[in-house]
């Protein structure tokens, strides 16, 4: 399991007996699972260490789920959907594929029960719940793509915001995917649901942002990237000027929360004017890219593993952990 740790302080009281803890997002793909290491604490009331341990475990599961949802939506979207998200957080065990104790400790002096868990969430279950709640549309099983390319060229108005620009390279990729029989989400249908900041974050390589785009768009495959144009030289040849287009994209699966592929390509073309040349150059570069992307996406869908139902893994047996007074 590949692990990337980032420490996040958890502050807040869920109930009077619960203190809080730490979340260590692991961002690990185990088939359809996403993993976190979580530290949670609960106060012991009336010497009931058993109850405190259960509360600490429940808090840990809830923290893992909340962090996962924040990564999917981003903080702003998370806050805007608090009502529905709170319903999911009330029963976090429904979204837990497995968990195991890394450490557990009961403090008889401070009357605290602390657990450190490795929690793997069943990502498909999270997606289905979000879809049913109406927060996102049609996430379940949508074999379609959303393609968003940030294009900078001599003919485009680069001062416009992303959603107001017309991308030649994006249109070329969309056309090729549709011709190959892969449905593509129309960008105008999602522009009001997805912020420009989220798109630019995904383009910069933020896989979580790309996953969020896919969930909101109801598409498994998210293709994001940059397209640029440069003059090959300043000299015109028989009234034509050569330009070179370069396109670099990342392909992400929102259902499996993973990077599927990354690819760059370029092409050169010339025309009677810069606009004619750049259109042809972007089209050529786009066609070269899709020769790789389309079969890659098709293979990804063909290899999608059979979905499994979520299963809770019970706490480890006595003796497997160095526990203190009040051990379960």
Residue 32 CA to residue 307 CA, distance in Å, equals 8
| Contact yes or no for 1/30 (Cβ under 8 A) | yes
- Compute the distance between CA of residue 3 and CA of residue 205 in angstroms, rounded to an integer: 17
> pLDDT (tens digit, 9 = 90+) per residue, 155-183?
667 778 888 888 899 999 999 999 999 99
DSSP H helices, the chain, are 49-73, 75-80, 82-90, 123-133, 168-179, 196-203, 207-217, 274-302
pLDDT band at 212 (very low <50, low <70, confident <90, very high): confident
When pLDDT is cut at 50, 70 and 90, the band that residue 85 belongs to is confident
Cα–Cα dist 294/297, whole Å: 5
Q: What integer is the mean pLDDT of 261-271?
A: 90
φ, ψ (nearest 5 deg) of residue 325: -55, 135
Per-residue pLDDT, 237: 53
Neighbours of 246 (CB within 10 A): 17
User: Is the pLDDT score of 314 beyond 60?
Assistant: no
pLDDT band at 277, cuts 50/70/90? confident
Q: Are residues 121 and 145 in contact, defined by beta-carbon separation less than 8 angstroms?
A: no
Q: Which pLDDT tens digit goes with each residue over 110-140?
A: 999 999 999 998 877 887 787 677 665 444 4
What structural domains does the chain harbor?
8-133 (3.10.129), 145-302 (3.30.160.150)
Write the DSSP string, 103-117.
Answer: EEEEETTTTEEEEEE
Cα 64 to Cα 25: distance, rounded to the nearest angstrom: 8
Q: How far apart are CA 247 and CA 149, in angstroms?
A: 9
| Long-range contact pairs involving 63-67 (C-beta distance under 8 Å, separation at least 24) | 63/10, 63/21, 63/23, 63/36, 63/38, 64/23, 64/36, 64/38, 64/92, 64/96, 64/117, 64/119, 64/121, 65/89, 65/92, 65/95, 65/96, 65/121, 65/126, 67/8, 67/23, 67/25, 67/36
Distance CA(185)–CA(131), nearest Å, equals 17
pLDDT at 241 over 80: no
Helices vs. strands in the chain: H and E counts, helices first = 8, 9
Answer yes or no: is pLDDT of 10 > 70.
Answer: no
Token readout for 71 is 């990564």
> How big is the CA angle at 24 (ends 21 and 29), to the nearest 5 degrees?
140
- pLDDT the model gives residue 77: 74
């Amino acid at each position: 399991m590949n692990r990337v740790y980032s420490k996040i302080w958890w502050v807040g009281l869920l109930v009077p007996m619960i203190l809080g803890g730490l979340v260590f997002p692991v961002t690990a793909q185990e088939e359809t699972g996403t993993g976190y290491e979580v530290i949670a604490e609960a106060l012991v009331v009336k010497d009931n260490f058993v109850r405190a341990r259960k509360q600490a475990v429940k808090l840990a599961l809830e923290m893992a789920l909340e962090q996962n949802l924040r990564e999917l939506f981003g903080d702003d979207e998370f806050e805007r959907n608090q009502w529905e998200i709170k319903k999911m957080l009330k029963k976090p065990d429904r979204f837990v594929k497995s968990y195991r104790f890394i450490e557990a400790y009961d403090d008889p002096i401070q009357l605290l029960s602390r657990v450190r868990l490795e929690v793997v969430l069943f990502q498909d279950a999270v997606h289905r719940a979000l879809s049913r709640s109406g927060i996102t549309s049609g996430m379940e099983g949508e074999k379609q793509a959303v393609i968003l390319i940030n294009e900078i060229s001599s003919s485009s108005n680069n001062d416009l915001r992303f959603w107001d620009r017309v991308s030649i390279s994006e249109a070329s990729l969309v056309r090729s995917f549709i011709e190959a029989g892969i449905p593509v989400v129309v960008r105008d249908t999602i522009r009001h649901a997805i912020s420009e900041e989220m798109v630019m974050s995904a383009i910069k390589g933020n896989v979580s942002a790309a996953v969020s785009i896919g969930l909101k768009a109801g598409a498994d495959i998210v293709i994001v990237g940059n397209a640029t144009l440069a003059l090959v030289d300043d000299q015109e040849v028989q009234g034509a000027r050569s330009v070179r287009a370069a396109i670099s994209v990342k392909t992400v699966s929102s259902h499996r929360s993973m990077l599927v592929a990354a690819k760059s390509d370029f092409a050169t073309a010339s025309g009677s004017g810069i606009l004619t040349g750049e259109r042809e150059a972007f089209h050529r570069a786009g066609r070269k890219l899709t020769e790789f992307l389309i079969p890659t996406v098709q293979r990804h869908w063909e290899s999608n593993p059979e979905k499994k139902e979520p299963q809770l893994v019970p706490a480890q047996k006595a003796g497997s952990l160095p526990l203190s007074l009040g051990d379960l």
